[in-house]
Structure formats: structure tokens, C-alpha cells
Structure 1
């Protein structure tokens, strides 16, 4: 029985039997449609061009549509060109304006062809849903093109619309908007399973793009969480993100994208390390800065300066949080300055760089006055960056530590487990929990740390929890025994650089363990699966992304250029439509060439599960909500017909 108060509320929107029954018809029609296609990606790591290309191409689905519709009719080059237009309309239009004798004719032909692709990607949506996705300025025209029939008397009408678009000089803008709509409709729902930031040059561009997407959610990764901590002004998180991004030469993103003022750091670094070659801190140049190029020598000095600040600040946080169990990272006090060595847990090792002018051997974790001033200035930059704060708030409003959608469980890193496959008891802020309860507790505390620090249970400085989850051995986002940052910076012996993954990553090869995790999160282990990111799958070494008898799929295939030598590929997209689940395996992205052309690599798509029957909207989470609405509306109709509510 539906509550009378709810019925009265519904009656304001549906004031009579006719209005309510019309909506029941509409909802039942929607429930009978096939479910939309979900796309799952992880570990984007700032690779904005590759990521946006994956979305625009729908990870190869757009190309398959082109082949399906135009295979017999167009040449291979023509099909390639049509796909290229959808992937990057601005670049293709610019190229065509130079190469086509009759650019207007090319525009007309392209629009005709785009209409057929448009019809194909919209065939399982309601007309109402499609209209909502259309750009306002072209909504009427696109709606007419979509629903114009092929009858002879409509042919002229259809052609006249396209001719008028060209004659009015809006063809270029129209085509760009049209291709955006096609790509948008091809990807109904987007799941990002962690790690937007670090290594690649423009996570800011990725976030700008995603904030305009119609339906996206995030499962936070360890690289996301450290940026979320930096956005609280936490010095341990700030120094970590700056060290990583300076080491990857990402100055455009830091200073231009987010407006982080690095000048105080640069001045301090030059002052302290003027004669120090800082050879082991030279930046990796995966991409060049267009607007804020920094000399390699200065960048290396800045990298070393912020690294020392990081080790000092982290030492202070470790001492403030003995419960974190991070004492093995207290290494500045383990340096023998006379011998030039450091005592690690595996013994004493020589330092390859023993120049520590700002470290006081008697109080190694004390910041100098210059360092404190620089960190105060950096904290202000992070707190006052409007774009960064907007991006972080979007991560919170659209994200979580884990997400369950349509029977599938998504999280970035791991669920802490012991060697026997039992959920491990983990203690944070004096609270001990395991499995789902641990994840739920952390999710709540992460939100409090950013939005309501006074209500957070964390002790010390706000954001310390984010820093712990970035590198703690019991963190579900890190999944390793330790993070060897100091060792990688200062010790040549690579044995000291080892970071061993936790038991979880061996256990997930077992089907029973994956089913145990699914059961813990209230899912049916027979039908549900886990989508996992974080650890790149080394395809070139024979490793498979499919674990636990198909119950868990790791979709980090190495979109980041930094990982592609290890993986042998350039990322995965997991695709879940109404008929099957599939993995798209990507090759490295090829940037635009000087002549305006671009080499596109169609991903290899393999089906990992074929559904026994086509999945309809009524079978999804959205379907459950819509069916509840139908039940409520039927009760409203009954109330009208029995006189309990008065029609208006």
C-alpha cells in the first residue's frame, strides 16, 4: 500500500487519471527497451587525448557501425574518413577545407552519412531521451533529420534541411555538434574505475570533459585520493602530487590548468641547490609543455626540493599517527651523514645523492623557515584553485570508494584480505572493520574530511586519512606492503625499490575468493562480476585480465604511456550492452599529424560473456526504480477512481 502523503505529492505532478495513465504507458514502454551500453575505463593517468578518443570512438563501436552501414557502399579510405570525422571533427574539417574542391558538397555528403550513423546509435532510446541529449541550438533540426522517413515526398524536405545548413554557413559547427551527439549516445553510461591524475599531462582536461558528460560515476583510485587530500590543503598530499607531476614535467597542468603558483618553490630550489646537478631528479618528458616550459635543470632542483619537503612532512604525520604503522618510511633519521649511507630494513646502503643542505641531523623532520613559507604558499594555491576545487567536488558528488551498478561491483584497488582469504581487520581512527564495513566507514570519513572536517573522526590535520590511503599497507586503494619513494630517489640498489603486492592479488585468481567478495557486498555470485583497476595487466608476459574463472576482470591495461612497455598495450575498455560483456584492447594512441591526418587503431574486441537473453531496462537498477514508479502511479489512479483523491 502506497502512503497517502506520497500520493498527494504525486498528484501535484499528475493531477488526473489521464496524466497518470499516460506516464504509466510511457514508463512501461521504456522498460521494454534494451538497456543502454555501459563503458568502464580505469587508470587514465592524465592521458587526455587517448581517453577522449576512446570515448568519441566508443572504443571501436563507432567504427563497427560505419562498417555495418557503409561496408559495401564506401571504400576503405572513405570509411576511415567518416570514422575520423566522428572521432575528431575539428581536425577532419580543417583538413577537408584545404583538400576538397567543393567543401560545401563534402559537408552535405558528410551530414547525410552522419544521419545514418545517428539513426543506428539511437534505435534503442526513446525519442524523449534522445531529445534531451541534443544541443539546444540544433535540437529541432537533428530531431527532424532523425525522424524523417525515406518516402519520396519527404526526400526533398530531408535534402532541403541539409542544403540550408550549408547555405547558411553553419555546416562546420553543425557537424561538430552532430558528431558529439553521436559519440554521446553510443556511450549511455560511463564508469571510471579510478586514477584520473598523475603521470600524463592533462587530468584537468579529462575532468573538464567528464563534467560535461551526461552520466558518469567514479570509483576513487589512490592517485585520485592524494589529489583529494591536496585539495584539503594537507601538506603531505600536496608535496606528493607536486613531486610526481614535476617529475613528469607537467607544468602546464599545474600552473596553467590549476593555477598552482610554483614560483616560490622555484626560487627556493634555485637558492638551495644552485650548484647541485640533481641528476637523479631530472623530469621524464612524456610530453612537452606548450605554455609553461621549465628548464630541465630547474625542474630537477624543484623536484629535489619538494621531495625533501615531502619526507619531512610525512615524518611529522607518521609520528602523529603511530596507528598507521608507517615507521618504515622514517628514513631521514636513518641517514649516516658522515658515511653517506642510510639504514633500511634490509640493511645499510650507500646513498647515490648525499647532499641534504636543509636536513638538520639532530632534528631531520624539522622544516626550515623557507620550506614552511613555500608550503604555506602552496597550500593557499591549492585551496584557492577554483578549477581544482570544482573537479574535486565533482569527484565526490559522482564518486565513491566502491559502486554497485546493474549487479556488478566496481572498485579501484583491493579488498584487504589475509593469506587464507579472510577479510582482514583494519583499524583507522580507532575503528576496526573489515570487508564491506571497512569500505563504508572509509567512504564516510573521506567525505567528512573534505566537507565536514569538524565531524570527521580523523585526528591530526584534515586530509591525513587521504594521505594514509595513498600509501598505507592496509589501504584498499594502495595494495602493497610499502611505498619506496625515498629509496627510488636516493638509493641506487634496485633491491630496495621493491614494493610487494598484498595477498589479494594472488587470491583473486581463485573463483571462490571472487564469489566470497561478491557475497560480502550483497551480490549474487552466480551472475555478478567485479571490475577492478589499479594494477596494469602485462599482456606481453601472457597475463590475462580475466581472473577467478571470469568473476573478476582487471581493466587497467596501461593507458598511461609510462606503463605501455610493461603491458604491451594501451588500455582496456570493458563494454556491457544488452547482449554481451566484452573487453576492447587498445593500441597506443597516435596523435594528429602535421598534415591533419591521424592514424586510428581499431581495438581488438573480445566477448567475455554472452547474456542468455537480451537485457532490457526492466532488468536494470533503473528498471527497478521505474517499476516502483509504475506501482505508485497505479495506486494514484486507483485513488482517483475510488474518490480518495480529487482529480484536477
Structure 2
């Protein structure tokens, strides 16, 4: 039973029995519709071209709809052309206009075909919902075309007259673009990003702009996202980390053109300090050429080394401030014998591959030089007072979290830390041991504190350091490995030191009973629920499958990032959950000059078609309907008076 005060608030929106009853009928009807299609992506890593294509093509589903609708009517070449038009309407229209192809006859046929596809993708939604997604200037016309009765001769004439008028007044191109964008919008009802939007790839900022424009999206943070979020708070280690990774993958465009971060102070510092040093261990991997900010590889290597050395220093300072992190063995810059050129790791000495450290004082290895300190302060200001970056970071906070339970699916990026015996691993922070769901909730709150607590407060500083721990800490649920061996990769040849032991979760989660335990921990039923996970690339070419634990677990990091495609053999997965089934779309490496339809495999059929009433949204609607019924009863009993005009 709702309180009278609550019902009176509802009465402002529904002032009469008629208004409340009408909404009850509307919401009940919505419950009887099939659920919308959900799309799950993971580990985008700045690969904006590939991701934007997957978004616009609905991971191949739009191509499927075209084939289903027109396969016996038009040749495949025209199907491909129609698909490309829907994906990139403005670009294709300009090309066709230059060729003189987009005349009145072509526009008439194209509008007819687009309306047919639009009917197919909108069929499971209410007329009201579809209309809200239409561009206002064409909403009435599109609505009419979608609901014409073709069996009525008069209506058919009406339909043809609408299209003729659109072409005659020369808005056919704009109308075609509007239809294409509506089809894109209707095909994906909701979007779930399972972490790691940032790092490695060329333009994470463009991906963020696309997500900001999308109508229904949620994000589960990955360790790379956390690192950028930490950098935006001003944490020096996180700032060094995101710069180091971007420079190491030659991703200057995202830093300078994307976010306007001034790297000139760093480049000048590096060029002077490492003038005679070739910095061979720090030559960047060039996966993508910079379009706007080409940097000489030799200078990039010097910048890479400069920021890496600074990072090792400020990380060591964080570890000293936080003994509770239990990471003292990771201050390897203090374990170097500078006179002999060796470093001691886990009790064993290794020769250093690089011995030139002009800014490191052997007596105080963690102390920043005066120039390093000034450089860091300049870089810190670039991150803390960056309007576009903070617009994106605020979106990560407003639409993101450590995990999400939605429609019987548990979504998270990394892992739920576990011990070898299958119990949840505890982390002792703030004088309390956290594990399982409680740990994820704690981390979520801590991440919020890092960004939103008052500048300079003890809580804020502690939370900002914790953001760095989440990036690489042994018990971090977004990292999930025993240690991060960045130092060893740079300076030690022995590959055994490069290994990063995985948390037992990654082995144990292959078992159904472990997945059931995790689902139960988060309040989800064992039957019919799934875990959807990213972070660890699935090596398809070695025979690995993304479907684990008898269909309870989906690992959907398939290598959208170019850095992983040689390991995975493919270019990523999309998990698609519609009212009939769960399906996996397997993608080929993106080539803008080739038509590439993903391989879509159904991995689980629903016993009965899933309706809105069966979803979390349906539960919300049921609660709303119950409230409205109480309001109607209150009106009828005279407890609340109707506002009858």
C-alpha cells in the first residue's frame, strides 16, 4: 500500500480517473509486447571505426533484416548497397549525388524499401515509442507511411502521393537519411558496454561521443576506464599511466586532437633528458597511423621512457602511503643496483636491459627531480581542467558502475576475486574485510568518492589513490591478476618474469557450480541467469569458445582491439539478446573498403518468447500499474478528489 502523500503526488500527473485508467491500459498493453533487443559489447579499446560500424550495422542484424525482407525480390548486390546506405546515409547519398544516380526514380524505390525495413524493425514497439524516435520534421509523414493499409486502394494512392511530394519538393535525400537513422535507432533497443572503452586504440573520445548520443546505454567499468577516471581526478600515477599507454601504442590523436592535452612540455623534457639515448626498449607499437598529430618514432620513444620512469616513481610513493595495498614488492625501481646494472625481483637478480636513468637518484629512487615535478603539475592541470574529458568522465559515472543485474543477466568487466578453494577472496580496506558483492559495492562507492568528494579532503585523496590500485592491484575486481609486470617487460629479458598470474576466478568460473554461486551472491536465480564478462580475450584460433560453464558464462572479449587480433584470430564479439534467443555475432577485422557480414550463431533459444512483462522493465511497469490502481481506488473512495475541469 502506498502512502496518501505518494498518491497525491501521482494525482498531479493523473488528475482524473480517466487519465489514470488510460495509463493503466497503455502500460498493460506494453507488457504484452516482445522485449526489445539488447546488445552487449566489451573491450572496445578506442577502436572507434570498428565500433561505430558495429553500432550502425547492429552487428549484422540490419543486413539480416534486409535479406529476410527482400532476398527473393532484389539481387544481393542491391541488398549490400541498401545496407551500406542505412549504415552511412549521408556519406553514401553524397557519393550517389556526385555520380548522378540519386534521381527521382532511385529515391522513390529507395524510400519504399527503407519503409519496409523500418516496418520490420519497429514491429515489436508501441507506435508511441517509435514516434518518439522519429525526427520531428518528418515524424507525421513516417508514421503515416508505416501504418498505411496497402489493401485499401485509396490508401495506396495516398501512400504514393506522399512519396511523390517528398521527391517533388526536393527533400528526398533528407527523408532517406532520416529513415536510415531511424532504422539504426530502432534495431538496438539498449546497449551494454562491458568495460574498457579506453586505451590502445586511436580515438576513445569518438566512441564516448557516440555513446553520449545513444538513447539507452549502460557501462560496466573496466580497468582502463578506471585509469582514465583516476587521471581526471588528478591522480598522478593514473595520469602517467594513460599517457604511457597511449604513447606506447602511438595514440597521439586521442590525447592531442581528441582531448587537447598539451604534450609539448613532455616532448621537450624527454628530448633534452634522453638526447643521447635511443630508448630502444620504448619504441612505440604502431597499430594506427596518427592522422592529426604525427610524432617521430624516435621522439615518441623518448617521451615513452620519460613518462614511464616518472610513473614508477609516483606509483612507489602511493605504495608507501598505503601499506594495506600489500604491494611493497612492486617498488622495483628501489630494487635496482645502479652500480652493477641489475635488479632483484622475488629474491633473484636479473641484468637490466636499459641502465640509463639520468633523473633517478640511487639514494632516493622515488624522488622526482625538480623538472619532473614541474612537468607533472602541468600535465595534472591539463587533465583536471579539461572540459571535454570531464564531460566524458561524468557520463562514465552517470551511466556506469562496477556491475549491473539486468533481465537475469549479471554484467561485469573483470572478475569476482576468488580463492583456490572457490570462496570469495577478501580485501581488507578501511578496517573492514570486503568480498563478493559487498566488495563490488564498496569499490563502486570508492570510485564515486574519488571524483565527487571535495578537492583536498582526506576521503578524496584516499579514493584517488585507490583508483590506481584498481588499475593494477592483486585483489582488484577490474584487474584480476596477481601482479602487473610492466617494469619487467621493459627491463628484464627473462620471459618468466613477465607472467601475470590470473586470479583463480578465471579457472573456477568455467564450472557451472561457481557461476551459480556468483549469481546467488548477486541475488539472481540460478536457472535462466547468465554472467556476461569481458577483460580476457577469447583465443578462437586455438579452439577456445566464448560460451563457458554449460552456457552460464559468456566471455565476449574477442579482440576488437587490433593489439589482440593476432591472439584471438577474430575482431570481437557482440552478444545479442532478443525476445527469441541469445546469439553471438563473430566479427572479422574491420576494413572500411569491404562489406563484412559477421557470423551470427544462436547460443540459447528461449523456451517461450520473452515479453516486456517478463523483464525488469515489466516489473517496473507492474509496480506502476498497481500504484495507478490504488490511485483510481482513492478517487472512487473520495480520499483524493479528481480535478475535473
Give me the TM-score of the superposition, normalised by structure 2.
0.97
Local SS of the residue matching 1:190: strand
* More displaced stretch, 285-294 vs 136-145: 136-145
Encode CA deviations 1:101-126: one digit per residue, 9 max, x unaligned. Answer: 45343233222111111010000100
Encode CA deviations 1:409-433: one digit per residue, 9 max, x unaligned. Answer: 0000000110010011111233211
**Do the aligned residues in 2 keep the contact of 1:429 with 1:458 (CA within 8 Å)?**
no
Look up the match of 2:499. 498
**Do the aligned residues in 2 keep the contact of 1:232 with 1:462 (CA within 8 Å)?**
no
Look up the match of 2:270. 269
Look up the match of 1:546. 547
1:487 and 1:458, CA in 2 relative to 1: closer, same or farther beyond 3 A?
farther
**Do the aligned residues in 1 keep the contact of 2:57 with 2:87 (CA within 8 Å)?**
yes
1:89 and 1:627, CA in 2 relative to 1: closer, same or farther beyond 3 A?
same
1:627 paired with 2:628, answer no
**Do the aligned residues in 1 keep the contact of 2:414 with 2:535 (CA within 8 Å)?**
yes
Encode CA deviations 1:257-316: one digit per residue, 9 max, x unaligned. Answer: 111111111110111011211122112221121211111111111111111110011011
| In 2, Cα distance between equivalents of 1:497 and 1:346 | 15
1:48 and 1:346, CA in 2 relative to 1: closer, same or farther beyond 3 A?
farther
> Pairwise mapping of residues 237-276 of structure 1 onto structure 2 (< 5 A)?
237-276=238-277
**Do the aligned residues in 2 keep the contact of 1:201 with 1:253 (CA within 8 Å)?**
yes
| In 1, Cα distance between equivalents of 2:639 and 2:598 | 59
| In 2, Cα distance between equivalents of 1:62 and 1:221 | 29
Local SS of the residue matching 2:574: strand
1:322 and 1:280, CA in 2 relative to 1: closer, same or farther beyond 3 A?
same
* More displaced stretch, 87-96 vs 294-303: 87-96
Look up the match of 2:583. 582
| In 2, Cα distance between equivalents of 1:234 and 1:292 | 26
**Do the aligned residues in 2 keep the contact of 1:234 with 1:461 (CA within 8 Å)?**
no
- TM-superposed CA distance for 1:461, in Å, is 5.2
- TM-superposed CA distance for 1:156, in Å, is 3.2
Local SS of the residue matching 1:342: strand
| In 2, Cα distance between equivalents of 1:620 and 1:457 | 42
- TM-superposed CA distance for 1:458, in Å, is 5.0
Look up the match of 2:469. 468
Local SS of the residue matching 2:233: coil
| In 1, Cα distance between equivalents of 2:166 and 2:281 | 58
Look up the match of 2:415. 414
Match of 1:636 among 627, 631, 634: 631
**Do the aligned residues in 2 keep the contact of 1:429 with 1:459 (CA within 8 Å)?**
no
1:85 and 1:457, CA in 2 relative to 1: closer, same or farther beyond 3 A?
same
Look up the match of 1:516. 517
**Do the aligned residues in 2 keep the contact of 1:320 with 1:460 (CA within 8 Å)?**
no
| In 1, Cα distance between equivalents of 2:292 and 2:459 | 40
1:12 paired with 2:18, answer no
| In 2, Cα distance between equivalents of 1:195 and 1:164 | 48
Look up the match of 1:618. 613
| In 2, Cα distance between equivalents of 1:99 and 1:567 | 40
| In 1, Cα distance between equivalents of 2:265 and 2:174 | 43
Look up the match of 1:164. 165
**Do the aligned residues in 2 keep the contact of 1:429 with 1:457 (CA within 8 Å)?**
no
1:162 and 1:328, CA in 2 relative to 1: closer, same or farther beyond 3 A?
farther
| In 2, Cα distance between equivalents of 1:549 and 1:83 | 35
- TM-superposed CA distance for 1:71, in Å, is 0.3
**Do the aligned residues in 2 keep the contact of 1:534 with 1:556 (CA within 8 Å)?**
yes
| In 2, Cα distance between equivalents of 1:619 and 1:55 | 26
- TM-superposed CA distance for 1:338, in Å, is 2.3
Look up the match of 1:404. 405
| In 2, Cα distance between equivalents of 1:263 and 1:81 | 45
- TM-superposed CA distance for 1:339, in Å, is 2.2
| In 1, Cα distance between equivalents of 2:89 and 2:284 | 34
**Do the aligned residues in 2 keep the contact of 1:202 with 1:253 (CA within 8 Å)?**
yes
- TM-superposed CA distance for 1:498, in Å, is 1.1
- TM-superposed CA distance for 1:16, in Å, is 1.0
Give me the TM-score of the superposition, normalised by structure 1.
0.97
1:544 and 1:455, CA in 2 relative to 1: closer, same or farther beyond 3 A?
farther
Local SS of the residue matching 2:339: coil
- TM-superposed CA distance for 1:230, in Å, is 0.3
1:349 and 1:335, CA in 2 relative to 1: closer, same or farther beyond 3 A?
same
Look up the match of 1:594. none
1:24 paired with 2:24, answer yes
Look up the match of 2:99. 99
Q: After TM superposition, what 4+ stretches of structure 1 lie above 4 angstroms from structure 2?
A: 453-462
**Do the aligned residues in 2 keep the contact of 1:96 with 1:103 (CA within 8 Å)?**
no
| In 2, Cα distance between equivalents of 1:515 and 1:454 | 42
- TM-superposed CA distance for 1:460, in Å, is 4.7
1:490 and 1:175, CA in 2 relative to 1: closer, same or farther beyond 3 A?
farther
Local SS of the residue matching 1:306: helix
**Do the aligned residues in 1 keep the contact of 2:403 with 2:411 (CA within 8 Å)?**
yes
1:361 paired with 2:362, answer yes
1:165 and 1:284, CA in 2 relative to 1: closer, same or farther beyond 3 A?
farther
1:600 paired with 2:601, answer no
| In 2, Cα distance between equivalents of 1:644 and 1:516 | 48
- TM-superposed CA distance for 1:174, in Å, is 2.9
Local SS of the residue matching 1:581: strand
1:357 and 1:173, CA in 2 relative to 1: closer, same or farther beyond 3 A?
farther
1:601 and 1:196, CA in 2 relative to 1: closer, same or farther beyond 3 A?
same
1:370 paired with 2:371, answer yes
- TM-superposed CA distance for 1:234, in Å, is 0.4
**Do the aligned residues in 2 keep the contact of 1:193 with 1:412 (CA within 8 Å)?**
yes
Local SS of the residue matching 1:231: helix
* More displaced stretch, 109-118 vs 195-204: 109-118
Local SS of the residue matching 2:213: coil
- Structure 1 regions of 5+ residues with no counterpart? 592-597
1:62 paired with 2:62, answer yes
> Pairwise mapping of residues 223-238 of structure 1 onto structure 2 (< 5 A)?
223-238=224-239
RMSD: 1.5
1:606 and 1:644, CA in 2 relative to 1: closer, same or farther beyond 3 A?
same
**Do the aligned residues in 2 keep the contact of 1:446 with 1:466 (CA within 8 Å)?**
yes
| In 2, Cα distance between equivalents of 1:44 and 1:634 | 45
**Do the aligned residues in 2 keep the contact of 1:418 with 1:504 (CA within 8 Å)?**
yes
* More displaced stretch, 448-457 vs 122-131: 448-457
Local SS of the residue matching 1:57: helix
- Structure 2 regions of 5+ residues with no counterpart? none
> Pairwise mapping of residues 166-245 of structure 1 onto structure 2 (< 5 A)?
166-245=167-246
* More displaced stretch, 552-561 vs 172-181: 172-181
Look up the match of 1:85. 85
* More displaced stretch, 336-345 vs 102-111: 102-111
| In 2, Cα distance between equivalents of 1:72 and 1:230 | 55
> Pairwise mapping of residues 124-135 of structure 1 onto structure 2 (< 5 A)?
124-135=124-135
Local SS of the residue matching 1:211: helix
- TM-superposed CA distance for 1:459, in Å, is 7.7
**Do the aligned residues in 1 keep the contact of 2:451 with 2:460 (CA within 8 Å)?**
no
1:610 and 1:456, CA in 2 relative to 1: closer, same or farther beyond 3 A?
farther
| In 2, Cα distance between equivalents of 1:531 and 1:155 | 47
**Do the aligned residues in 2 keep the contact of 1:86 with 1:180 (CA within 8 Å)?**
yes
* More displaced stretch, 629-638 vs 214-223: 629-638
